[in-house]
Amino acid sequence: MIARNYLNYAVKYRIASALTLTALLAACGSSVPLVETKPEPTLPNLLKLEPTPAATLLTGNFFCELGNKVDLASGTDGAVKLNWKGRSYPMTTVSTTTGAVRLEDKASGLVWIQIPAKSMLLNSKLGQQLANECKLR
């Protein structure tokens, strides 16, 4: 008897589900004209995350942890050269929202980040830190 009641309930549930699905599908296919909508206006940048002027670029010989050394030199034309492990890389300035100095060389993937307390050299292609705790001496 319990099994028969369960079967009746299951059949009724499936029929109700099928009818509901049919009604939903029919509603989706109705020929109600669509109203032309305009895109929502964009919200103002409430956090004020515009790029800020970068801090002054420090150049010279940076000594880093684990005995690493990075040399940074700026030319008269504003170009910046980074020397790392015997190779020279032309670096371009990238604006940041934090005010940190960020230099990149897209070809090699090198990224130099300089904040007042320290600097670090990253390889963005490999996702690695190459030199950390770099400081002028």
Q: What is the pLDDT of residue 84?
A: 95
Tokens of 71: 């040399």
> Rounded to whole angstroms, how far apart are CA atoms 81 and 112?
11
Burial 91-129 (b: 16+ CB within 10 A, else e): beeeeeeeeebbbbbeebebbbbbeeeebbbbeeeeeee
pTM recorded for the entire structure = 0.60
Residues β-bridged to residue 89: 82
Residue that has been written with the tokens 């100095």 in this structure = 101
Q: How confident is residue 112, by pLDDT bands cut at 50, 70 and 90?
A: very high
Determine contact, residues 91/78, Cβ cutoff 8 Å: no
Share of the chain above pLDDT 90, in %: 45
Q: What is the pLDDT of residue 125?
A: 93
